[in-house]
Amino acid sequence: FYLYIDEEAMSKTIIVSNRLPVKVTEEDGQYKVATSEGGLATGLGSVYQSGDNVWLGWPGVEVAGDDKQNEVTQKLAEVSLRPVFLTADEISGYYEGFSNEILWPIFHYYASTYANYKLADWECYQHVNRKFADAVIAIAEPGDTIWIHDYQLLLLPGLVRATRPDISIGFFLHIPFPSFEMFRLIPWRSELIEGILGADLIGFHTFDDASHFISAATRLLPVNSSSNIITVDDRPVVVESFPMGIDDEKYGALTRDPEVVSEINYLRETFKDKRVFLSIDRLDYSKGILQRLQAFELLLDTHPEYIGRIVLHMIVVPSRDTVPQYMELKQNVDRKVGDINARYRTLDWSPVHYFYRPFPINTLSALYHVADICLVTPMRDGMNLVSKEYIASRTQETGVLVLSEMAGASKELIDAVIVNPSNIASMAEAMQTALTMSLNEQKRRMRLMRQVVSKFNIKHWVKLFMERMREVKQMQQSMRSR
């Protein structure tokens, strides 16, 4: 009489990221949980909401006191989420400090100007990663799979591995992994690599990021690597690229939603005799917002025939506004937009429509659908999903994407007009190329890009990573039994 336990069926997946995929807000002492439209939230929705699976992370607000924390914990549990609460000091040292004043700038190649190496922030980063590890370990059981996300949690794979040596851990970095010469600047570089190597499968958006990581690991630590496998204490760790996609069907369907259609009609009427450039970014120096504005200004300078005939509709979403570099950038963007509009505007036309606030997805969808040209010109970006959202919203198959070669997406969307965002003159030329591109050429390129975005969508990305996790686990088991 045997009791058969199917380990695979009993096991669960634990997703961990710094931020939970919801927005928690407090109103009159009551907490509200609103779903998020973010790419990762959509992609992993089917994973964490099924069976015993769960997503663990920071709710994004400070919740002080046991009563309030219990209330938030309960509300989140209803949607398979578990909070890791952070105090104001932890938010300042781990999130604003180490994650966003050290790792973010270095990983985006902004070394000397922005990185601020404070020992106290490093200590806080270690402490918060341990806090996340305790939360994971409290619920992880043998056979479970843990999928950890992004640069805020680089130490977490190693910390979990130390207590649960046999558990299956995947790690995905959503931002670029810099070349070794950049990465080596970080005082605690070896500890960070050791932390990441606690995973069994390490994923990046691009092949270059994966090879930069392998190069850093083998130069800093006494580990061997063969092709894309790094061996750590006899444990093979697989390093690979998994370019992230979007829910292309959702963006296609949105353009047919009656509410969106009426927004589309309104925008068409508003922009009747204008060609529309669109850009949508979080406020971040890595997004190249100022350089894009300079190029747009140069275009107006060199092509006065466009005065009154083109518009840059620029949405900047507030982000990390307690970090000093972000506050400074905000002032510079405000000033630059002011300068351009003051120089060129006429009584009934201004060249830059600048919005500093988030917009609902319906409005974004309508804008994507109406804009003739989308400018995605970051100085450095892990992937950039806006570029893919634009393509997925172009159900009419026209439109031009101007895309920075420094965005991971440029490795896939090779039919965009590719630009170097530091070269202002060539960016202005790319804008001119986009304005004068024939409809046939637009369609030829757009169809090819739409195929890429639809084939390598978010479902494909999640499936590929999860399947690879299982394969790596099997490979390790068969090596152990040899």
Note the residues at the interface with ligand G6P (CB under 6 A): 18-19, 150, 174-175, 319-320
CB of 256 to ligand G6P, least distance (A): 28
Nearer residue to ligand G6P within complex by CB, 351 or 408: 408
Sheet holding 417-419, edge to edge: 352-356, 310-317, 275-282, 373-376, 400-404, 417-419
Helix (H) or strand (E) holding 235: strand 235-241
Q: Which residues are bridge partners to 24 per DSSP?
A: 33
CB of 100 to ligand G6P, least distance (A): 6
Taken in order 250, 253, 255, 258, the sign of the CA dihedral is: negative
Nearer residue to ligand G6P within complex by CB, 18 or 325: 18
CB of 171 to ligand G6P, least distance (A): 13
Nearer residue to ligand G6P within complex by CB, 20 or 267: 20
Nearer residue to ligand G6P within complex by CB, 175 or 312: 175
Helix (H) or strand (E) holding 436: helix 424-436
CB of 265 to ligand G6P, least distance (A): 32
Distance from C-alpha of 271 to C-alpha of 268, rounded to nearest angstrom: 5
Cα–Cα–Cα angle for 430, 106, 333, nearest 5°?
50
Nearer residue to ligand G6P within complex by CB, 91 or 472: 91
The alpha carbon of residue 10 and the mean position of all alpha carbons in its chain are separated, in whole angstroms, by 31
Nearer residue to ligand G6P within complex by CB, 18 or 255: 18
CB of 299 to ligand G6P, least distance (A): 29
Q: State residue 55 phi and psi, 5-degree precision.
A: -120, 130
* HSE value, Cβ hemisphere, 13 Å, CA-based, for 57: 27
CB of 58 to ligand G6P, least distance (A): 9
Nearer residue to ligand G6P within complex by CB, 399 or 421: 421
Taking alpha carbons only, the member of 114, 185, 178, 108 closest to residue 404 is 108
CB-nearest residue to ligand G6P: 174
Q: Do 114 and 101 form a contact (C-beta atoms < 8 A)?
A: yes
CB of 40 to ligand G6P, least distance (A): 8
Distance from C-alpha of 116 to C-alpha of 425, rounded to nearest angstrom: 32
- Residue 262: count of CB within 10 angstroms of its CB: 12
Cα–Cα–Cα angle for 47, 49, 52, nearest 5°?
90
CB of 439 to ligand G6P, least distance (A): 34
CB of 89 to ligand G6P, least distance (A): 17
List, as one string, the DSSP characters of 280-346: EEES-GGG-HHHHHHHHHHHHHH-GGGTTTEEEEEEEE---TTSHHHHHHHHHHHHHHHHHHHHH-B
Give, in order, the Cα–Cα distances in Å from 76 to each of 23, 47, 70, 81, 184. Answer: 11, 16, 10, 5, 39
Nearer residue to ligand G6P within complex by CB, 322 or 477: 322
Nearer residue to ligand G6P within complex by CB, 389 or 415: 389
Nearer residue to ligand G6P within complex by CB, 55 or 306: 55
CB of 325 to ligand G6P, least distance (A): 13
Nearer residue to ligand G6P within complex by CB, 150 or 412: 150
- Residue whose entry in the numeric block shows the structure tokens 């959202």: 389
Distance from C-alpha of 418 to C-alpha of 416, rounded to nearest angstrom: 6
CB of 355 to ligand G6P, least distance (A): 18
Nearer residue to ligand G6P within complex by CB, 45 or 351: 45
CB of 195 to ligand G6P, least distance (A): 16
Distance from C-alpha of 253 to C-alpha of 95, rounded to nearest angstrom: 36
Give, in order, the Cα–Cα distances in Å from 208 to each of 175, 176, 181. Answer: 12, 9, 14
